């Protein structure tokens, strides 16, 4: 099985969550994982893709838009172009057989009327994806991070449990271990929970 994970991130927090999820999915042995920063993600999903995970930071209770992205980019000191998951979804070709799960990062406010993951799930359903599920929210302490303690561990556990569900659907036993093929050509912020980068065996550049 192949999974794609596409992340949008300005300060590195959502990217770190994406890495943790990608590695846990690969470690489950059920999936080979292709991980992309959104600017480098293919518009159409490769044949054979069965799982698509979209990960984005929550901006103004929603997916980042041009205005909020500009604010985040200014704070992060990025100069990269204006393309995020919102735009990726708008251009995506629907693939009804692909299971889509959306996750996000947000403040640990206790109350989120909406979030990037919720908006992404709604837009993906509208775009014609039939099996769309809103996944977890992972918490940051401030706009720039860091992730709250334990969030990378929680992300790995969340992804392991997702993979276990897929394994039982496929009626498979775990193979010897999957692989993460990561493509991040854009600048990413620092990974800010000890062990995230060290624990991942990705070959992400940048
Ligand atoms: C312009 C802007 C708006 C934001 N709005 C919200 C919000 O409505 N709710 C929330 O919980 N966090 C909000 N945040 C915090 C982001 O969720 C946080 O920056 C993000 O999780 C960090 O992820 P990243 O490092 O991947 O960019 C906002 C951040 C920015 C820059």
Which structural domain, as residue segments, surrounds residue 141? 2-199
Q: What is the pLDDT of residues 24-79, one digit of tens each?
A: 999 998 889 999 999 999 988 988 899 999 999 999 999 999 999 999 999 998 87
In a domain, 154, yes or no: yes
Query: CATH code at 86?
Result: 3.40.50.360
- 96 to each of 52, 124, 132, 187, how far by Cα in Å? 11, 10, 10, 32
Rounded CA separation 122/105 (Å)? 17
In a domain, 206, yes or no: no
Give the phi and the psi of residue 84 in degrees, each rounded to 5.
-135, -170
Rounded CA separation 202/169 (Å)? 27
- Please state the pTM of the whole predicted model: 0.87
In a domain, 204, yes or no: no
User: Candidates 37, 106, 138: which one to mutate for ligand 1, based on the most atoms within 8 Å of Cβ?
Assistant: 106
* Ligand 1 mean position, distance from CA 2 (Å): 30
User: Candidates 140, 151, 152, 186: which one to mutate for ligand 1, based on the most atoms within 8 Å of Cβ?
Assistant: 140
In a domain, 205, yes or no: no
Number of domains in the chain: 1
Q: Give the full edge-to-edge strand order of the sheet including 99-107.
A: 131-140, 99-107, 49-57, 2-7, 32-37, 180-183
């Amino acid at each position: 099985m192949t999974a794609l994970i596409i992340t949008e991130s300005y300060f590195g927090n959502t990217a770190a969550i994406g890495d943790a999820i990608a590695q846990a999915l690969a470690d489950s042995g059920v999936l080979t994982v292709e991980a992309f920063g959104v600017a480098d993600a293919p518009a159409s999903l490769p044949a054979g893709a069965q799982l698509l995970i979209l990960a984005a930071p929550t901006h103004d209770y929603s997916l980042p838009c041009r205005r909020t992205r500009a604010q985040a980019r200014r704070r992060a000191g990025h100069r990269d172009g204006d393309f995020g998951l919102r735009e990726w979804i708008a251009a995506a070709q629907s693939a009804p057989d692909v299971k889509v799960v959306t996750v996000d990062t947000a403040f640990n406010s206790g109350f989120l009327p909406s979030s990037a993951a919720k908006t992404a799930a709604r837009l993906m359903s509208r775009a014609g994806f039939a099996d769309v599920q809103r996944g977890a929210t992972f918490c940051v302490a401030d706009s720039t991070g860091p992730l709250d303690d334990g969030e990378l561990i929680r992300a790995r556990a969340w992804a392991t449990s997702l993979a276990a569900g897929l394994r039982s659907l496929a009626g498979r036993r775990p193979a010897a271990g999957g692989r993460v093929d990561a493509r991040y050509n854009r600048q990413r912020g620092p990974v800010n929970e000890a062990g995230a980068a060290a624990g991942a065996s990705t070959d992400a550049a940048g």
